[in-house]
Amino acid sequence: ANFSEQVVESFPSDISTGIYYGWACVGNGDVHKMVLSIGWNPFYKNTKKSVETHIIHTFKEDFYGEILSIVIIGYIRPEKNFDSLAALILAIQEDIEEAKRQLDLPEHLKLKEDNFFHQTEGRIVNNH
């Protein structure tokens, strides 16, 4: 799930590019583990910074237009370029496994139940 340019521009300017892990919730649904990429995606030669969320869950249908709420818990690694698509895919798989391990820790697991994820009505999102 990619955030819009407007949302990306509202992220703190001093946040390091790289791969993060945390929790994500689509609409008022369940909270799932996620991996987040913040940066330029050098393999694809992006000209604009992007924030892409990989929710570690299989959804039955698309969720375009839904509110995506995330909580970033930790940092996995810096952004980097890859020699091949296969190397990129392998790194993504390793990032997902690291996120799963980290998010199973009790101190991270408890954040899954935070009220943040269930207050979408009336919540201000990106100053709107």
* Per-domain residue ranges of the chain: 5-117
Residues 107-127 have a mean pLDDT of: 73
pLDDT tens for each residue of 15-42: 999 999 999 999 888 999 999 999 987 7
pTM of the complete model: 0.86
Please state the separation of Cα 15 from the chain's center in Å: 14
pLDDT tens for each residue of 37-56: 999 877 777 778 889 999 99
Task: Using the CB atoms, write b or e for 36-54: b if 16+ within 10 Å.
Answer: bbbbbbebeeeeeebbebb
Quote the CA–CA distance of 85 and 108 in Å, as a whole number: 31
Amino acid (1-letter code) at residue 13 = S
| 52 in active site | yes
> Which residue out of 5, 52, 61, 66 is catalytically annotated?
52
Q: Which CATH number fits domain 5-117: 3.40.190.10, 3.20.20.120, 3.40.50.720, 2.40.30.30?
A: 2.40.30.30
